[in-house]
Amino acid sequence: MRSLLTLCLLGLSLLGLSLAAHAGDLDDRVERLARELRCVVCQGQSVAESNAPLAVDMKAHLREGLAAGRSEDDLRAEMVQRYGEQVLFRPGLHAGTAPLWFGPLVLLGLGGLIYWRQARRQDDPS
């Protein structure tokens, strides 16, 4: 009788450890996904860092979705559909986001060209 009770207690404690490990894994996945998403209220913070009510709701939605078995890609796509590409810290490269990716390089190139032309004009004695 004692050994049966011991086995039951051991089984319950192993089950508890397994559930705790699963909850920890879920927390890690929610945190990782929330760090990829920009808070639409704060703009400079990720959803994981923000304490804005909307960010808290977004984290809760991510947790519920992951707990229900939805993939991170599905949840990410849903957030983009709901809030637009600006919700991603690393938006994908397509026609709508090309200025975000290449705009700084174009501006740097234009600045270099203007500087080069101004320097050339100053060096030209005519």
Q: What is the CATH number of the domain that holds 64?
A: 1.10.8.640
Which range of residues forms the domain containing residue 108?
Answer: 94-126
Compute and round to an integer the Cα radius of gyration of the chain. 26
| 24 and 50 assigned to the same domain | yes
Q: How many domains does the chain have?
A: 2
98-110, pLDDT tens digit by residue? 887 788 999 999 9
User: 23 pLDDT band (50/70/90 cuts)?
Assistant: low
pTM of the model: 0.59
| 84 and 105 assigned to the same domain | no
Helix (H) or strand (E) holding 49: none
Identify the CA nearest to 62 among candidates 86, 42, 89, 35.
Answer: 35
Q: How far is CA 32 from the centre of its chain?
A: 7
| 41 and 78 assigned to the same domain | yes
| 83 and 103 assigned to the same domain | no
Rounded to the nearest integer, the mean pLDDT of the chain is 83
Which of 88-92, 108-112, 118-122 ranks highest by mean pLDDT?
Answer: 108-112
| 113 and 66 assigned to the same domain | no
76-85, pLDDT tens digit by residue? 999 999 988 8
